């Protein structure tokens, strides 16, 4: 059962390591998404600036450019929303990993306590076994001594009986 608990702890450690790698991967993805979003924002701002210059020349072009700018703003809002959502998901996963790490630490402490108790009990059992063996040996010696005394007494009784008759 202790081996099962140890195997379970090792499995959980591997799971925590895998989850940590997933979190790190997610963090890299978030960072990449943030960099891409910033690049796209800069590109969008450049496009908007160019569109504004062209819009001064023609009203119709200006209206089209304003519509494009609105589309870009919506995309940017979506990107920001996604980034916020990704960041919240990352924070939740990080909290879960921290909670799992705390739980794993507690389980590890429990396993160590159980192992220590089991070791103590094993030592106690071994001491009791040695005591039992010593007591058996002493009883055997006493039994043999009693048998010898009994045989001597029987021999003496026969000798007395033979002398009387």
Burial class (CB in 10 A: 0-12, 13-18, 19+), 160: exposed
pLDDT at 59: 67
Closest-CA residue to 26 (of 80, 97, 79): 97
34 touches 80 (CB < 8 A): no
57 DSSP 8-state letter? T
Q: Are 9 and 101 in contact (CB under 8 A)?
A: no
| Look-up of token digits 């978030």 | 30
Question: Looking at residue 55, what is its pLDDT?
Answer: 63
Backbone phi, psi, residue 156, to 5°: -65, -40
SS (H, E, C) 28-47: HHHHHHHHHHHHHHHHHHHH
Q: Which residues contact 33 (CB under 8 A, 6 or more apart)?
A: 79, 82, 83, 86
d(CA 13, CA 17): 6
For position 56, what pLDDT does the model report? Answer: 63
Asked if residue 100 lies in contact with residue 19, where contact means CB atoms within 8 angstroms, the answer is yes
pLDDT at 4: 86
Instruction: Report the pLDDT value the prediction gives residue 141, as an integer from 0 to 100.
Output: 93
Confidence (pLDDT) at 110: 95
165 residues of the chain, pLDDT tens digit each: 778 888 888 999 999 999 999 999 999 999 999 999 999 999 999 998 887 677 666 767 567 778 999 999 999 999 999 999 999 999 999 999 999 999 999 999 999 999 999 999 999 999 999 999 999 999 999 999 999 999 999 999 999 898 887
Q: Hey, what are 141's tokens?
A: 């010696």
């Amino acid at each position: 059962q202790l081996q099962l608990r140890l195997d379970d702890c090792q499995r959980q450690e591997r799971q925590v390591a895998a989850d940590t790698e997933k979190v790190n991967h997610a963090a890299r993805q978030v960072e990449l998404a943030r960099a891409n979003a910033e690049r796209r924002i800069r590109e969008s701002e450049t496009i908007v600036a160019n569109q504004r210059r062209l819009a001064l020349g023609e009203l119709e072009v200006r209206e089209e450019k304003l519509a494009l700018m609105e589309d870009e703003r919506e995309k940017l809002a979506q990107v920001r929303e996604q980034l916020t959502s990704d960041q919240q998901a990352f924070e939740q996963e990080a909290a879960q990993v921290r909670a799992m790490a705390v739980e794993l630490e507690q389980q590890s402490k429990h396993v160590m306590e159980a192992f220590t108790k089991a070791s103590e009990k094993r030592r106690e059992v071994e001491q009791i076994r040695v005591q039992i063996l010593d007591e058996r040996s002493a009883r055997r010696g006493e039994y043999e001594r009693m048998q010898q005394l009994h045989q001597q007494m029987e021999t003496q009784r026969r000798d007395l009986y033979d002398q009387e008759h």
